[in-house]
Amino acid sequence: MGMESFMKRLTETPAPEIDQEAFELERRYQRAFGHAVPREMLPPGISQEQIKQAVEACLMTGTDRFFEVLGVSIDPDVLY
């Protein structure tokens, strides 16, 4: 497949649907806590539904305990 046919297929691929509920929750989270939902630090097994539930829990309590709610611990000595 050449670059031209790749680009043609790419432009013809429909954009994925945006989960408006998750989008709005994450906007509220960012306004409340001053940073975006830290998805890049989550293990791949965490689902979108779990993320939404954790964000809702943080917003309801007014505390940014996102990782704790999900049962994720971050070890700063292992980050790379």
> pLDDT tens across 33-80, in order?
999 999 888 999 999 999 999 999 999 999 999 999 999 988 878 765
Q: 55-64 as b/e, with b when 16 or more CB fall inside 10 Å?
A: beebbeeeeb
The domains of the chain are located at: 44-80
Residue 1 predicted with pLDDT over 70 = no
User: Higher pLDDT residue, 80 or 20?
Assistant: 20
User: Higher pLDDT residue, 8 or 66?
Assistant: 66
Tokens of 53: 């539930």
What are the tens digits of pLDDT across the range 23-44? Answer: 999 999 999 999 999 988 899 9
